[in-house]
Amino acid sequence: MIEEVFQRAIDLLDKHEQAALSTIISSKGSLPMSEKSKMLVTPEGTIIGTVGGGCLEADVWTEARRVMEAGKSSIQQFILTEKYAGESGLNCGGIVEILTEPLPAHGQELFRTLLRLKETGHRGALATILTEHPRYPEGQRKVVVCDDGYMVGSFGDAVLEAFARRRGQEILQGENFAIETYRAEDGVDLQVFLEPILPTPTVYVFGGGHVSFFLVRAAKLAGFRVKVIDDRPAFANKERFPEADATVVMEFEALRGVFDFSQDDYLVLVTRGHQHDQQILEQLYDCQARYIGMIGSKSKIAKMWQRLEAKGIAKHYLDQIHAPVGLNIGADSPEEICISIMAEIIRERRLGKVQYTQRKRSHDTRREAAAMSR
């Protein structure tokens, strides 16, 4: 996980040891671009993280060793022919560029900030100058822009930092990586790589039954934090769910106001009965979670929707709920059901950003209208 890359970087810097950090900065074709595309190579040659595996990673490892010795960054371009793609498991076709750089000598605060953003649910952007320029030496080419505008690190150039702050906050809206051009005072065009640093997403599992048992494992494997909520102590505890980040025992009707769900949260309702699912949905009304899914047959869900609409729950809210939960792959057993659920969650995480942004804007507009009518 990327958190391990950041933590090991801190540990090495605390020991005054050098290492090399490789990051995918652009990709075209079939290679996906994600925040996991980072690899740290230690002085002993140990690899933490990944940029793809196989021959590609072996060549980047060799470059990382050279960068450590030279103390100078480099950018490699790879065309993913069969040599790289076939042996590494990547799909053939595409071009990838990888930045490999020595760790900044005093970068502990920078990496601690990145870790803190991911662990506390906040967002930020990491800005890196890619262009060699005497005014911006190695070790002075990175800043972190936090979602509140606070900046960690310095380029030694207030105008460039203002540019990084503005563009960094803009990319957080779409969660996209970007390479921007900045015209320096001497007329040189600097390439600045901006990457969003996002919180580790959390899957909230309501209900501690058989499906939940496997769902927790699958969610952790896919890189999510997981919290299990049930009203029965025997079904929400660390012994039953050792891989869960938290287990919470509470009455389902007491959820309102306890959790502040955000766009990095995914909610799955797999309780032991639809009466509990309905209690939960009534309290989650208009929350900001990225995804809400509920288990159940189409007929039972249709009846619940009628009851909820009779209670004043708006249809547009119910239309956003994934019910029946999971992709329709004919899943039958708890193990298969959990796989279909996680497949749908991953699809939403990776492909549903535009739809979420549209839903959020619609939600904000409705809230503003409601406030004006008071």
pLDDT digits (tens, 9 = 90+) for 253-298: 999 889 989 999 999 999 999 999 999 999 988 889 999 999 999 9
3-state secondary structure of 296: coil
Do strands 189-197 and 178-183 pair parallel, antiparallel, or not at all (unpaired)? antiparallel
For 247, how many CA atoms within 13 A lie in the half-sphere containing its CB? 20
**Mean pLDDT in residue range 215-244:** 96
Can you tell me the mean pLDDT for 85-89? Answer: 48
User: 182-226: per-residue pLDDT in tens?
Assistant: 999 999 999 999 999 988 899 999 999 999 999 999 999 999 999
Q: Is the pTM of this model over 0.75?
A: yes
- Judged against a pLDDT cut of 70, whether residue 363 lies above it is answered with no
Which residue intervals of the chain are DSSP H helices? Answer: 2-14, 54-70, 82-88, 108-120, 158-174, 210-221, 274-283, 298-310, 315-319, 334-351, 353-373
The domains found in the chain, sorted by start residue, are: 1-103 (no CATH), 121-199 (no CATH), 202-359 (3.40.50.720)
pLDDT at 353: 56
Q: What is the Cα 207 distance to its own chain's centre? A: 24
3 state DSSP class of 41 = strand
* Sign of the CA dihedral with 292 first, then 297, 299, and 304 last: negative
Q: What angle, rounded to 10 degrees, do the helices at 2-14 and 108-120 form?
A: 150
Is pLDDT larger for residue 29 or for residue 259?
A: 259
Backbone angles phi, psi at 66, to 5 degrees: -65, -40
Q: Is the pLDDT of residue 113 over 60?
A: yes
If you write DSSP's letter for every residue of 242-294 in order, what string do you get? TT-SEEEE--GGG-TTT----TTEEEEE--SSHHHHHHHHHHSTT---SEEEE
- Identify the weakest region by mean pLDDT among 122-136, 338-352, 353-367: 353-367
Q: How far apart are CA 210 and CA 272, in angstroms?
A: 10
Residues 6+ apart with CB under 8 A from 373: none
Amino acid at 343: A
User: Residue for token digits 């069969």?
Assistant: 82
What is the pLDDT at residue 354?
47
